[in-house]
Amino acid sequence: MRPALVVSGDKFHRITKKRAWVCPITRTDKDYPIHVRLDDDMDTKGVVLCDQIKTVDLEARGFEVIEKAPGYIVCEVLDIINGLLE
């Protein structure tokens, strides 16, 4: 199991039926500008790999919500992803 930040929204989840776009989280911090460090006060430690978006089947993966990231972290991740798509 690898922790990940879900970056897709409700509309995507309704259309695709139990699939989600996620960015994996790793403890290996290479200080890349397109990786977002999680807060120290979060249970999940590490950095979000914004350049490695994956589509996963939540049911097949045994999806479990561990915690919710603060809104500003989600916004930073989404801003980086949007910038990479331009």
Query: How do residues 65-83 score in pLDDT, each as one tens digit?
Result: 999 999 999 999 999 999 9
Which CATH number is associated with domain 4-85? 2.30.30.110
Return the DSSP state at 39: P
What is the CA 86 to chain-centroid distance, rounded?
19
Q: pLDDT-derived band of residue 27, with 50, 70 and 90 as boundaries?
A: very high
d(CA 37, CA 48) in angstroms, rounded, equals 6
- pTM higher than the cut 0.85: yes
Neighbours of 57 (CB within 10 A): 12
| Angle ∠(73,79,82) on CA atoms, nearest 5 | 140
Q: Which spans in 1-86 are helix H?
A: 10-16, 58-61, 71-85
